[in-house]
Structure 1
Amino acid sequence: MIVRQTGLEASGKDKTPNVYQESVERFEETFKRLAEGGRTPALWVQYHYMVDVIKVFIRTERLADHNGHLCCIVSRMLDIFAAAGHHQYAKGARLYCQLMKQLETLPAYKETFESFTAHGNHVVRYSSHDWSGTWCDICIEQTLMKSAKSEGGLSRGRMRHSDSGHKCWVLTLNHFSNVNQRMEESVKKHAPLHRDLGKTQMKRDAEAIDLALQWFEETTHSTPIETRSCLCLSQQDSGAQEMTQSMLREQQK
């Protein structure tokens, strides 16, 4: 579930309160129980799973997490490709993962492997901000294919059936890239987007997350929560029986 990979890592510590783990386990148990209720609930659970896979993949790409990128493809996406009938995607993804794993053992590609794992160079960035990684397929569609299929590109306009025009268009790509880079520098595209991205604010956010985790540990006392009804964690009071009973009555209607 995507809840396993929320911003709790921002505190820089590995501690995870028991109540958080129990909540994740209860979510998983609930989805399993719902999936056994019939075809429609099973379909919705499967849909939620696929959306969750997309979220995890986007997160790994945005954060330039190479290990998470490969793990998401191998452990979750290959089965979906095969089940959906996209055999070429399944075959290509498996071959891609095998080649990426071989980089670690080949001395000739040691620097390439380190650039992927340590610096996240397997993705493309349009800016130096965090959460700005973009996978290569999207970059090709957004830049090369967009300019090729727009007015005056390779597939439209005068260049459509002209070899000299095609050659001119390809040779000028590098010059336009330099122009684009100068324009980005002039508008300060790589400057901080918001004050919340500053080191001081990020430090305060990490301290706030630590306080929240500490509160969970102090209030739960490292004991499992047995009740299935609404619970006030600060008082350990499960006096929400009236609300639970009213919800059951509404379901029976």
Structure 2
Amino acid sequence: MTEIREWSRSDTARFFRVPTRGDDKYSRGVVALRTGSSAYPGAAVLGVEAAWRAGAGFVRHIGAQRVADAVLSRRPETVTGPHAGRSRPDAWVIGSGIDPQDRSFEETAALRQLLAGDVPVVVDAGALDLAPGASAPVVLTPHAGEFRRLQERLGLAAADDAPREQALAHVATEIGGVVLLKGATTLVADARGGLIAVSESTGWLATAGTGDVLAGVLGAVIAADPTRPLLEAAATAAWVHGRAARVASGAIDGAAGHPIVALDVASALPLVIGDLIA
């Protein structure tokens, strides 16, 4: 079994910096999201909000007009439209708020094209079924149920008594990328045998929409420096996401904390990142 590395605050802090006077919106990272649907426009709102709050310099959203309207009502600085335009994203986020059974042929083709490119792609929820065979650098972000379905799609036995770490390593190897398995302790594995555990979290994070926030954070972290290892970028996003949930819920220094919603987590991101670079 590969040794598991516990991801720390100091590990996370290395991924963030104070912008210099020479920076512009493009040098701080361009994130493009193809997320949300007419049924679930909120997923797009949450991912876009998180990408901005996690420090992206430019955020573009591609989706239906109803989804774009929802995004712009919350974050009017976002650029929306049917395609990425002339800007070249540093990272893509796809799948959040999309039901695979309701995807159109055109949407599926567009997602497959992104997965066949060379820009890193965060693959969430409704695009996980398209990840096998992807040639783009990918980070998959399944929860436990999605992970089991992914195992089935890959033809891997999902033994109930198998350690999560072992099952995750097998899936990452088959995918040829990074897989982030969400949970009370989040595990991240890559195809080269790397394995990281992220324990910075709180039970209050177990609420609808927080996975969409995590996908947006991960997009921003990757876009800020796409040359960094995706395994470590994924662990960094998970740590910041978990810490933001603790800050938002008040679950700090032994306090029990209180209920939160997903936007609370996104809103706490600047405080967490500011503390990391102080």
Larger RCO (alpha carbons 8 Å, 6+ apart): 2
TM-score, normalization: structure 2? 0.23
TM-score, normalization: structure 1? 0.25
**Which structure has greater strand proportion?**
2
**Which structure has greater helix proportion?**
1
